[in-house]
């Protein structure tokens, strides 16, 4: 297996595992008021597995489609930035129990996805389209985060 494939799949597995470990569903979370459109807890694991799988496929596809070194640098920078933004949300929301801080952070995650879609498009439109479900899910998750903050504030 080639290095870009190992890195892409390894990154997705790491983010999925880290997200799961940073997401304790305990009394604090269960006692939060949630909006009526909140999906059941069991749905998040499969949704993130699919989304991170698509993101890995996208990263691998974009890497192989990049013809120039500057394009490969762009691919690496965009996906790495997104990975950092993705990684930070769960510890802020669940471990720190600060949905308000996570709401600020989710803006950076969302922007990283918009940039991925827009800036990967010239390299590979297919890789760019593979990110769209991730962008849509994070848009919905950001709304859920906002609703939880609105229904439960203040946090301290």
In this prediction the pTM is 0.94
Which pLDDT value is given to residue 44?
Answer: 93
Q: Which domain holds residue 12?
A: 3-152
Structure tokens at 12: 């997705």
As a whole number of angstroms, the distance between CA 56 and CA 52 comes to 6
pLDDT in tens, 34-46: 999 999 999 999 9
Q: Percent of the chain having pLDDT more than 90? A: 94
As a whole number of angstroms, the distance between CA 22 and CA 123 comes to 33
Query: Measuring CA to CA, which residue among 152, 74, 148, 83 is closest to residue 112?
Result: 83
As a whole number of angstroms, the distance between CA 27 and CA 6 comes to 37
Which pLDDT value is given to residue 79?
Answer: 98
pLDDT in tens, 87-128: 999 999 999 999 999 999 999 999 999 999 999 999 999 999
Structure tokens at 20: 């799961």
CATH code: domain of residue 38:
1.20.1260.100
pLDDT in tens, 124-149: 999 999 999 999 999 999 999 999 99
* Side-chain half-sphere exposure of 138, counting CA atoms within 13 A: 26
CA dihedral for 53, 93, 87, 137, sign (positive or negative): positive
CA dihedral for 46, 47, 52, 55, sign (positive or negative): positive
Per the structure, the count of domains in the chain is 1
Do 24 and 37 contact (CB within 8 A), yes or no? no
């Amino acid at each position: 297996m080639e290095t870009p494939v190992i890195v892409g799949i390894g990154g997705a597995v790491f983010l999925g595992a880290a997200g799961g470990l940073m997401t304790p569903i305990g009394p604090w979370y269960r006692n939060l008021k949630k909006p009526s459109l909140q999906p059941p807890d069991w749905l998040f694991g499969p949704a993130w597995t699919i989304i991170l799988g698509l993101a890995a496929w996208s990263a691998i596809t974009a890497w192989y489609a990049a013809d120039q070194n500057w394009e490969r640098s762009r691919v690496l920078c965009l996906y790495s930035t997104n990975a950092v933004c993705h990684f930070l949300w769960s510890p802020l929301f669940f471990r720190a129990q600060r949905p308000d801080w996570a709401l600020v952070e989710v803006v950076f995650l969302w922007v990283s996805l918009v940039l991925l879609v827009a800036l990967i498009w010239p390299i590979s439109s297919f890789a760019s389209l593979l990110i769209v479900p991730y962008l849509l899910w994070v848009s919905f998750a950001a709304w859920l985060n906002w609703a939880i903050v609105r229904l439960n504030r203040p946090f301290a």
